[in-house]
């Protein structure tokens, strides 16, 4: 049930942003928790903070022309939504995927505001990307696309203004090309203008691992609060990109066993436990489909084209692929098979019906804006190292990440208790994240 003061705000967001289904979903999900906040803080209602936070500060849409290796001309659409700068410069990744349109960028940017606030670091929220499909593109084509994209985007960026990073389709290679072009255009070695850089030229150790590790750290904290642990648990991790790979690694380090992972072509089931080096070779080095993993693994693993990875019984489920990948039917299957905890490594991977199913069944549920905040938190650590012209060891950086994730868990846990809904991490994350941003916005006056 949506609060009666919140409902008209939500209606207005839907009316003003037609056709942006994912954005509506993300706003609905956050605003659904904020009724009791307005009751407690009438000053925030009076200043219309909720209405303001739903309207991006600035939205940039631009043409990205480029030529493929045969000389054919392509036109893509680039985006950067600078959503909220109350707590710091706009911060958030770039996604290159054919599904990208304004509604996806706005959902991601909106989530990013509260996620970034939860980290406790001084970063605002933003997101960007393009409807460019990097699949089967040569290195040269990727470079030309990144250069053309940056030739427009650079004017909006700056270490005190807007700091992008990676997301789906944007990894270390793309960050390198984007940074190189920014440096060339501006003639400045402004390390802190982009994060996810290679550690050999200004990046932070642990950034690559951080989202996956952080998700597992968050779930570990939630299990601990319930008197449980990862040790001996069976896990299923969807996806096989950066987030999934390092979530798998950390689960294995903590004594759990990941028995399945996936890509958009299907999933592999490997009851002996996913072989991490083989997975990295197939996905990161050779950039092949996940079936190649099963082909090379031999008898122990099987590839299932299509189908649902969530049918495989597990104790802990970590959706690390993409939005709305885990539906109500999947959630029902997980609950039926005895799943006790779910942590969102991706952004909004569980549909609202799936989240409700987990809540009704008493499954521990870590929402993305809390559980996957480790990536952006480590981006903020990268900015910190860049600003002080320093670089930290792997151990020091991982310790900070673990501390930050424990802090996020604590504030979500305590906020849920304070608002009379113990164990409700969705409510705790939404309220705690919102309050941090709202207080800063109120202090800055009507801007
Ligand atoms: N794209 C990541 C996220 O969804 C990381 C963003 C960043 O490091 O700025 O949080």
**Domain end position, chosen among 338, 371, 404:** 371
Cα 340 to averaged position of ligand 1 atoms, centre (Å): 27
Cα 272 to averaged position of ligand 1 atoms, centre (Å): 32
Q: Are residues 224 and 312 in the same domain?
A: yes
390: DSSP letter: -
Task: Kindly name the residue from 127, 208, 283, 369 that is annotated as catalytic.
Answer: 127
Q: Domain with 147 in it: what CATH number? A: 3.40.50.10860
Q: Are residues 252 and 142 in the same domain?
A: no
The residue to mutate among 376, 405, 429, 433, having the most atoms of ligand 1 within 8 angstroms of its beta carbon, is 376
Residue 40 lies in a domain: no
DSSP H stretches of helix in 57-206: 102-119, 139-153, 172-186
CB contact set of 327 (below 8 Å; sequence gap of 6+): 351, 353, 354
**Domain end position, chosen among 128, 160, 189:** 189
Q: Are residues 334 and 237 in the same domain?
A: yes
Instruction: Answer whether 6's CB lies under 8 Å from 50's CB.
Output: yes
SS3 label, residue 446: coil
Confidence of residue 1 (pLDDT cuts 50, 70, 90): confident
User: For residue 112, which atom of ligand 1 is closest to its CA?
Assistant: 10
Q: Are residues 73 and 176 in the same domain?
A: yes
The residue to mutate among 82, 92, 115, 212, having the most atoms of ligand 1 within 8 angstroms of its beta carbon, is 92
SS3 label, residue 151: helix
At 86, list the tokens.
């109350």
Residue 39 lies in a domain: no
The residue to mutate among 100, 368, 375, 433, having the most atoms of ligand 1 within 8 angstroms of its beta carbon, is 375
The number of distinct structural domains making up the chain is 2
Exposed/middle/buried for 28, CB within 10 Å: 0-12, 13-18, 19+?
A: middle
Q: What is the CA radius of gyration of the chain?
A: 21
User: For residue 379, which atom of ligand 1 is closest to its CA?
Assistant: 8
pLDDT tens by residue, 317-348? 999 999 999 999 999 999 999 999 999 999 99
Active site residue 127: yes
Q: Which domain holds residue 317?
A: 209-371
Cα 385 to averaged position of ligand 1 atoms, centre (Å): 17
Q: Are residues 173 and 218 in the same domain?
A: no
Q: Are residues 148 and 258 in the same domain?
A: no
Residue 204 lies in a domain: no
pLDDT tens by residue, 367-424? 999 999 999 999 999 999 999 999 999 999 999 999 999 999 999 999 999 999 999 9
Q: Are residues 116 and 170 in the same domain?
A: yes
Residue with the smallest CA separation from ligand 1 atom 8 is: 376
Residue 429 lies in a domain: no
Q: Are residues 363 and 221 in the same domain?
A: yes
CA 225 to CA 15: how far, in whole Å?
41
CA 313 to CA 200: how far, in whole Å?
41
Residue 293 lies in a domain: yes
**Domain end position, chosen among 121, 156, 189:** 189
Which of 184, 64, 33 has its CA nearest to residue 132?
Answer: 64
pLDDT tens by residue, 158-210? 999 999 999 999 999 999 999 999 999 999 999 999 999 999 999 999 999 99
């Amino acid at each position: 049930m949506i609060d009666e003061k919140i409902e008209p705000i939500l209606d207005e967001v839907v009316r003003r942003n037609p056709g942006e289904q994912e954005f509506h979903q993300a706003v609905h999900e956050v605003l659904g928790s904020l009724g009791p906040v307005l009751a407690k803080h009438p000053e925030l209602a009076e200043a219309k903070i909720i209405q303001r936070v739903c309207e991006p500060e600035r939205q940039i849409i631009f043409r990205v022309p480029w030529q493929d290796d045969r000389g054919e001309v392509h036109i893509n659409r680039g985006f950067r939504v600078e959503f909220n700068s109350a707590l710091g410069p706009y911060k958030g990744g770039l996604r290159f995927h054919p599904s990208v349109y304004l509604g996806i960028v706005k959902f991601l940017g909106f989530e990013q505001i509260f996620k970034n606030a939860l980290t406790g670091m001084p970063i605002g929220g933003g997101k960007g990307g393009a409807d460019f499909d990097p699949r089967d593109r040569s290195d040269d084509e990727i470079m030309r696309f990144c250069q053309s994209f940056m030739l427009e985007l650079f004017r909006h960026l700056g270490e005190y203004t807007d700091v992008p990073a990676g997301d789906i389709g944007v990894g270390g290679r793309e960050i390198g090309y984007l940074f190189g072009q920014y440096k060339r255009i501006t003639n400045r070695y402004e390390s802190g203008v982009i994060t996810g850089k290679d550690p050999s030229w200004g990046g932070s150790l642990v950034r690559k691992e951080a989202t996956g590790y952080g998700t597992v750290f968050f779930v570990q904290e939630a299990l601990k609060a319930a008197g449980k642990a990862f040790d001996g648990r069976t896990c299923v991790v969807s996806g096989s990109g950066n987030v999934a790979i390092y979530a798998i690694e950390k689960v294995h380090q903590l004594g759990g066993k990941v028995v399945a992972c996936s890509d958009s072509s299907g999933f592999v089931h490997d009851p002996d436990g996913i072989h991490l080096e083989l997975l990295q070779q197939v996905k990161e080095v050779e950039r092949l489909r996940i079936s190649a993993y099963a082909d090379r693994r031999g008898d122990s693993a099987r590839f299932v084209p299509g189908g649902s990875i969530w049918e495989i019984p597990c104790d802990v489920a970590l959706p690390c692929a993409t939005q709305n990948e885990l539906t109500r039917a999947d959630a029902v299957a997980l609950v039926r098979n005895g799943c006790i905890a779910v942590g969102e490594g991706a952004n909004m991977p569980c549909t609202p019906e799936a989240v409700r199913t987990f809540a009704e069944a008493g499954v521990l549920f870590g929402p993305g804006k809390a559980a996957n905040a480790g990536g952006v938190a480590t981006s903020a650590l990268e900015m910190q190292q860049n600003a002080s012209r320093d670089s930290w060891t792997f151990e020091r950086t991982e310790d900070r990440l673990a501390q930050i994730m424990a802090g996020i868990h604590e504030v979500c846990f305590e906020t849920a208790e304070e608002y009379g809904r113990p164990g409700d991490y969705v409510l705790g994350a939404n309220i705690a994240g919102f309050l941090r941003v709202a207080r800063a916005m109120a202090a800055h006056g009507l801007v």
